[in-house]
Amino acid sequence: MYRKKLFSVRILSVVLILATVLSFVCACKEKDDPDKDENVDEGFNPYPYEDLSVFMELPDYKNITVESHLVEKSVQAELSYFFTEHGLYLPITDGKAEKYDLVNISYVGFIDGETFEGGTAMSVDLLLGSETYIDGFEDGVIGMNAGQAKNISLRFPDDYGYAEYAGKDVVFTVTVNKINRAPELTDEMAKQYTPFATGEEYLSVLRRNCLFGIAFEKLMAQCSLKGYPAEYTEYYQYFKQYFMGLANQNGCSLEEFVSSQGGYYSAFGLFSGMSLSDFEAVASDYARSNTVNDLLTYSILRAENVTIDGERYKEAKKVFEKESGATFEEIAASAGEEAAIISVLNVILSEIVRAGVKEI
């Protein structure tokens, strides 16, 4: 079954912010002095445009409402990644599946008694409560036992990504193969797997980062482009070239690839079975999201008069070093100085955005 969202909060709040800051830093460095071959100096100002408002008006980042249940859902998803990565989930053999359990399921979907493309999957993991699939699916799994199978009757939403399924009744025969339950986050886990001394400290930072990601995504949703900087075209071309490369590897045209190749490219929000015009629309959405992310990030930093030689930057550097478990110099040596600057700027951006949040 196809997932109901094209872009995830996790991608928007982490990958896009960090990647686009890097692109702007590098572009500006070249623009300021293309022949300069030394490290970024303390007075370097990573803004490539004199007036960002010609492209987009800055939304009210000092007045953001965030629903607490969305933060909790995001925190649980991040903890799921953490427990999975380190093999910490506890198998449940006698008991019912609960919200935030990680279950392994198989399912077959039927519309009008017939199976349909994308409606069948075997042995896939699902975090209950993540709202990964259509409304009602996870609620139907909650309360099931390991080894149990049952039918879950649902309806595809009217705005579903595939028009031929939108608004239709569907029945999923679901089998729960395994139930895994998250353990209590302990100080020992934090010490062993994170830079933090206690589970409480790690959880606090995790929640803070999730709050920032959700708030930033809300701000992005309020943005409307008035113009298109050069970066928009660069993102658009990157997207197309990436999939053209995949098409070439498969010995077919781009149109043939997106219409016939299997797979779901979650990082790009691209489904198989698309028409070329659908693909172009997704490419435009990808370019727009990245461009808005760039403009929003730098508009906020500029509005707050953030520079990389000020006291705020120096304090953020200390926070970054504490939470990363590495020094600025170590990050700069392994990933490059621009990447280290990015990380510190992201700490400042998070502080600014979270200061304007009201949780309800």
What tokens appear for 99 in the block?
Answer: 């919200």
248-267 tens-digit pLDDT: 888 888 888 887 654 445 44
Domain membership of residue 325 (yes or no) is yes
The span from the CA of 240 to the CA of 334, in Å, is 30
User: Same structural domain for residues 266 and 226?
Assistant: yes
138 neighbors 76 (Cβ within 8 angstroms): no
Domain membership of residue 211 (yes or no) is yes
Q: What is the largest CA-CA distance in the chain?
A: 67
CATH of the domain at 159: 3.10.50.40
User: Same structural domain for residues 162 and 301?
Assistant: no
Domain boundary among 154, 181, 208: 181
Domain membership of residue 2 (yes or no) is no
Domain membership of residue 75 (yes or no) is no
Instruction: Give a three-class secondary structure readout of the chain.
Output: CCCCCCCCHHHHHHHHHHHHHHHHHHHHHHHHCCCCCCCCCCCCCCCCCCCHHHCECCCCCCCEEECHHHHHHHHHHHHHHHHHHCCCCEECCCCECCCCCEEEEEEEEEECCEEEEEEEEEEEEEECCCCCCCCCHHHHHCCCECCCEEEEEEECCCCCCCCCCCCCEEEEEEEEEEEEECCCCCHHHHHHHCCCCCHHHHHHHHHHHHHHHHHHHHHHHCCCECCCCHHHHHHHHHHHHHHHHHHHHCCCCHHHHHHHCCCCECCCCECCCCCHHHHHHHHHHHHHHHHHHHHHHHHHHHHCCCCCCCHHHHHHHHHHHHHHCCCHHHHHHHHCHHHHHHHHHHHHHHHHHHHCEEEC
What tokens appear for 272 in the block?
Answer: 């198989």
User: Same structural domain for residues 244 and 138?
Assistant: no
Domain tally, the chain: 2
Q: What was the pLDDT predicted at 11?
A: 34
Band of the pLDDT at 163, cuts 50, 70, 90? confident
Q: What was the pLDDT predicted at 264?
A: 46
Domain membership of residue 223 (yes or no) is yes
Greater model confidence, 90 or 260: 90
Q: What percent of the chain has pLDDT over 70?
A: 82
Parallel, antiparallel, or unpaired for β 357-359 and 64-66?
Answer: parallel
Bridge partners of 358, per DSSP, are: 65
Q: Residue 247: which domain range?
A: 9-69+197-359
Q: Which amino acid is at 67?
A: E
Judged against a pLDDT cut of 70, whether residue 80 lies above it is answered with yes
What's the rounded mean pLDDT across residues 318-331?
89
User: Same structural domain for residues 100 and 243?
Assistant: no
Domain membership of residue 318 (yes or no) is yes
User: Same structural domain for residues 136 and 172?
Assistant: yes
What's the rounded mean pLDDT across residues 156-172?
86
What's the rounded mean pLDDT across residues 212-234?
90
14-53 tens-digit pLDDT: 434 444 444 444 444 344 444 443 433 444 444 567 788 8
Q: What was the pLDDT predicted at 230?
A: 84
Q: What is the mean pLDDT of the chain?
A: 82
CB neighbour list of residue 129: distance below 8 Å, 6 or more residues apart: 73, 76, 99, 100, 138
101-114 tens-digit pLDDT: 999 999 999 999 99
Judged against a pLDDT cut of 60, whether residue 155 lies above it is answered with yes
User: Same structural domain for residues 300 and 218?
Assistant: yes
Q: Of 5, 251, 269, 272, whose CA–CA distance to 118 is shortest?
A: 272
